[in-house]
Chain A
């Protein structure tokens, strides 16, 4: 069974729902109409564009091409991580912390899955590599952005407590132990929760897509389990790396809290 193609008319029917929500938002003065319109427009344009790119990519399994697309995805995700932080580390370093952590975790996990688990020939077969990396990056990005935002914001709010603990002779790691723990947890909890709820509360997007596309439910489920494990590992490693690096930037070599490295958004 193939997938039933959707016409522009079908999509415009769905867009009517978003339009209705926009009207409701306007009546309720939620002030979200503009953002809703821009986001709906962005999702349409971006997805149509990436559809065209993937169409070309899938017909030419070229490593350089796959690598370039991956890098573009990484850079955009890195920008997004920075944009989502209320207080971020100044300059290129702040961008590098998030992006570097995403690169290390997502790319390593994606490479492991492609080369060892799925083991298609070549390992970078774009039909597998791009969607897999996309899902990994998307989730890792959310986790890292959440945890870094939590880390810097809590540290800012509790700066007096942290300095009091330093004054009592605690090391910088001891003084921010709980803040660090909570930041890492906040980045990992969403994926842990969605693993726990998968199948019971929601049917994950990729699996739904595969089933709609005609795959057997059991094949779709196995891929979904693989993806869940990969996302969990990628997000977890990414969050731990990002928070560890962020903590290092927030203290100097004499273990003094250096909040001036933060910049308000």
Chain B
């Protein structure tokens, strides 16, 4: 996979936003609540109407069916949703999920048979990450992926997502309210102001 290019993206009364994230690069996004960070991710995932153009590597958003775009440019919402009884029913093929991934997030293959209603918020969030990665996306839009996790799991999730990005040359856009986390994970950071303006700050080393 490769570069995610956003050109003059507008939605509601916001924008235009132009942004490029290279394969394997993680861009942190911070900003006050209600400044429109999640809306920006939703627009990039093509979940809300928007203007402008977006492209992932050679794939132009407007040229491919929306489900194909969303499989490639995967968004992880701040709170995961589940609608069937067991964990594995939410996966296309749970048995094919990498044992390493499961172990890294503190699960074994037994978790497939667990009842969703008995999962904690943190367990749901970690499983939602595995569910998102099952499509082998080419870009990740992460909306506070560790907000409901304890310190150990935060480290594990950060490591897993960064590894996935680096190993597969996948661009990451990572929304977080925790500046320390962004220092750890992001190669560079953007700040969204309450009026929706996006400014750059801070630069780290890459993969």
A and B associate in one complex = yes
**B residues 69-83 touching A (CB-CB < 8 Å):** 70-71, 74-75, 77, 79-83
B residues near A254, Cβ cutoff 8 Å: 46, 49, 66
Is A169 a contact partner of B68 (Cβ separation < 8 A)?
yes
Q: How far is the CB of A161 from chain B (nearest CB, A)?
A: 4
Q: How far is the CB of B38 from chain A (nearest CB, A)?
A: 12
Q: How far is the CB of B129 from chain A (nearest CB, A)?
A: 12
0 or 1 for each of A172-185: is its CB under 8 Å from B? (1 = yes): 00000010000000
- Expressed in whole angstroms, the Cα–Cα distance for A160 and B86 within the complex equals 18
Report which residue of A158, A164, A165, A256 has the largest number of chain B beta carbons within 10 angstroms of its beta carbon: A164
B residues near A167, Cβ cutoff 8 Å: 45, 47, 70, 74-75, 77, 132
A163-B70 contact in complex given A158-B83, A168-B132, A169-B135, C-beta closer than 8 Å: no
A residues near B81, Cβ cutoff 8 Å: 160-161, 163-164
For chain A, the bracket of interface size reads 10 to 19
A residues near B131, Cβ cutoff 8 Å: 168
Asked if A252 is at the interface (CB within 8 A of a chain B CB), the reply is yes
Asked if B48 is at the interface (CB within 8 A of a chain A CB), the reply is yes
Is B66 a contact partner of A168 (Cβ separation < 8 A)?
no
Asked if A166 is at the interface (CB within 8 A of a chain B CB), the reply is yes
0 or 1 for each of A188-206: is its CB under 8 Å from B? (1 = yes): 0000000000000000000
Closest A residue to B134 using CB positions: A168
- Expressed in whole angstroms, the Cα–Cα distance for A171 and B65 within the complex equals 9
- Number of A-B residue pairs with CB-CB distance less than 8 Å in the complex they form: 53
A residues near B82, Cβ cutoff 8 Å: 161
B residues near A165, Cβ cutoff 8 Å: 83
Q: How far is the CB of B108 from chain A (nearest CB, A)?
A: 23
B residues near A39, Cβ cutoff 8 Å: none
- Expressed in whole angstroms, the Cα–Cα distance for A167 and B71 within the complex equals 7
B residues near A255, Cβ cutoff 8 Å: 65-67
A residues near B70, Cβ cutoff 8 Å: 166-169
Is A170 a contact partner of B48 (Cβ separation < 8 A)?
no
**B residues 109-131 touching A (CB-CB < 8 Å):** 131
- Expressed in whole angstroms, the Cα–Cα distance for A250 and B142 within the complex equals 26
Which one of A158, A161, A163, A168 lies within 8 Å of B135 (CB-CB)? A168
B residues near A164, Cβ cutoff 8 Å: 77, 80-81, 83
- Expressed in whole angstroms, the Cα–Cα distance for A167 and B47 within the complex equals 8
Report which residue of A168, A170, A252 has the largest number of chain B beta carbons within 10 angstroms of its beta carbon: A168
Is B83 a contact partner of A256 (Cβ separation < 8 A)?
no
Closest B residue to A178 using CB positions: B83
Report which residue of B48, B49, B75, B81 has the largest number of chain A beta carbons within 10 angstroms of its beta carbon: B81
Is B67 a contact partner of A171 (Cβ separation < 8 A)?
yes
**A residues 229-258 touching B (CB-CB < 8 Å):** 252, 254-257
Query: Which 7 pairs of residues, A with B, have the shortest CB-CB distance?
Result: A169-B71, A164-B81, A161-B81, A255-B66, A254-B66, A169-B67, A161-B83
Chain A to chain B contacts (Cβ below 8 Å), 27 pairs: A158-B83, A160-B81, A161-B81, A161-B82, A161-B83, A163-B47, A163-B77, A164-B81, A164-B83, A166-B47, A166-B66, A166-B70, A167-B45, A167-B70, A167-B77, A167-B132, A168-B74, A168-B131, A169-B68, A169-B70, A254-B46, A254-B49, A255-B65, A255-B66, A255-B67, A256-B48, A257-B47
Using A160-B79, A167-B45, A256-B46 as known contacts, list a sample of 13 further A-B pairs with CB atoms less than 8 Å apart, ordered by residue number in A.
A160-B77, A163-B47, A163-B77, A164-B83, A165-B83, A166-B67, A167-B47, A167-B75, A167-B132, A169-B71, A169-B135, A254-B66, A256-B66
